[in-house]
Amino acid sequence: MRDARVALAGGLALTAIAVAIVLSHSPQILVGTNAIEPSTRLTSVPGGGSACQADETLPAGTSAIRLSLGASAGPRVAVTVLSGKTVITHGEGAPGWIGYVVTIPVKPLDHAVHHATVCFAFTGANERVSFLGVPTPTRSAATSGAGVLPGRIAIEYTRPGSSSWWSLALSVARRMGLGRAWAGTWIVLLVATLMATSIALASWLTIREPQ
């Protein structure tokens, strides 16, 4: 039984340390968008497709690009940002994503880039991928291998913030208290109590002699 106690104590301590380390990191924050709402499904392309969108502004520090694409088992997405013909940054996202947005980590930018062209290409052919954005005139629309698309795609740029999760804890707790039946920050304390009780019960059950 001593082994179980040591394993349990060590495991829980490691978990606590890991959580503390994760919370000392900063969340990704939005540093810029192209002001396009992902309100319309512009078109869909088969796997293996690609597209480019010009006149994008990438803020300094951008380390991830969020593309408004829709899929149920999205393909691998490779993003390349060009200024003229020079590659400014690039990155690749894993396949299997779902929903209306895919975030691609890219090599962080040390300065802002104006009038850049964001190109992305899909590998694999699981299903068609939808492009979400707003209709625009042809001259400002995105382009794909098949020609000009009917509009521009919503794109956002993110980088790690400067505040850790620890320093954001209070604002997160306040937000958790909203939008529910019994509103209030006390919800966070209730959640913490429920989980602490369940962990205490589980620990006791694990180290006691079974009957």
Partner 1 sequence: MRVVQQRRERDVSWDRVILKLRSVPSRLRSVPMATWLCALVACLSATSWSLITPAFQVPDEQAHFAYVEQLARTGHLPSSSIEEYASDEVLALEDLEVGRVSLQPQHHTIASRSEQRKLQHDLANVVATSLSSSGAAGVAASQPPLYYALEAIPYDLGAGGGVLDQLALMRLVSALMAGVTSLFVFLFLRETLPATPRAWTIGGLGVAFMPALGFISGAVNPESMLCAVSAAIFYCFARAFRRVLTPRLAIMIGALTAVGFLTKLNFLGLVPGIVLGLVLLAKRASQTLGSRTAFRALASALVIAAGPVYVYMFINLLSHHRALGLAGSVLAVLVSHHSIFGELSYIWQLYLPRLPGMHIDFADISPIRDLWFKGLVGEYGFQDTVFPRWVDSVALIPAVGIVALSAREVCVHRSALRRRVVEFGVYFTMAVGLMTLIGATSYLSFPSEAAGFPEPRYLLPLISLFGAVLALATRGAGRRWGTAAGALIVVLFVAHDLVSQLQAIARYYG
Binding residues for partner 1, per CB under 8 A?
1, 3-8, 11-12, 14-15, 18-19, 22-23, 27, 30, 38, 47, 66, 71-73, 75-76, 94-96, 98-101, 103, 123-128, 156, 165, 168, 172, 175-176, 178-183, 187, 190-191, 194-195, 197-199, 201-203, 205-207, 210-211
Shortest separation between residue 81's beta carbon and partner 1, angstroms: 19
Q: Which is nearer to partner 1, 115 or 186 (CB)?
A: 186
Q: Which is nearer to partner 1, 15 or 138 (CB)?
A: 15
Shortest separation between residue 43's beta carbon and partner 1, angstroms: 14
Strands 86-93 and 113-123: unpaired
Coil, strand or helix at 29: strand
Q: Tokens 């794109």 identify what position?
A: 155
Q: Which is nearer to partner 1, 83 or 101 (CB)?
A: 101
Q: Which is nearer to partner 1, 148 or 172 (CB)?
A: 172
Contact 171, 75 (CB under 8 A): no
Shortest separation between residue 14's beta carbon and partner 1, angstroms: 8
Alpha carbons 61 and 156: distance in angstroms, whole number? 13
Shortest separation between residue 138's beta carbon and partner 1, angstroms: 27
Shortest separation between residue 113's beta carbon and partner 1, angstroms: 21
Q: Which is nearer to partner 1, 122 or 142 (CB)?
A: 122
Q: Which is nearer to partner 1, 115 or 166 (CB)?
A: 166
Angle at 37 between CA 35 and CA 39, to 5 degrees: 165
Angle at 122 between CA 102 and CA 135, to 5 degrees: 65
Shortest separation between residue 96's beta carbon and partner 1, angstroms: 3
Q: Please count the residues of the chain.
A: 211
Write out the H or E segment, with its range, that includes residue 91.
strand 86-93
> How many other β-carbons are positioned within 10 Å of the β-carbon of residue 64?
19
Coil, strand or helix at 8: helix
Alpha carbons 209 and 194: distance in angstroms, whole number? 25
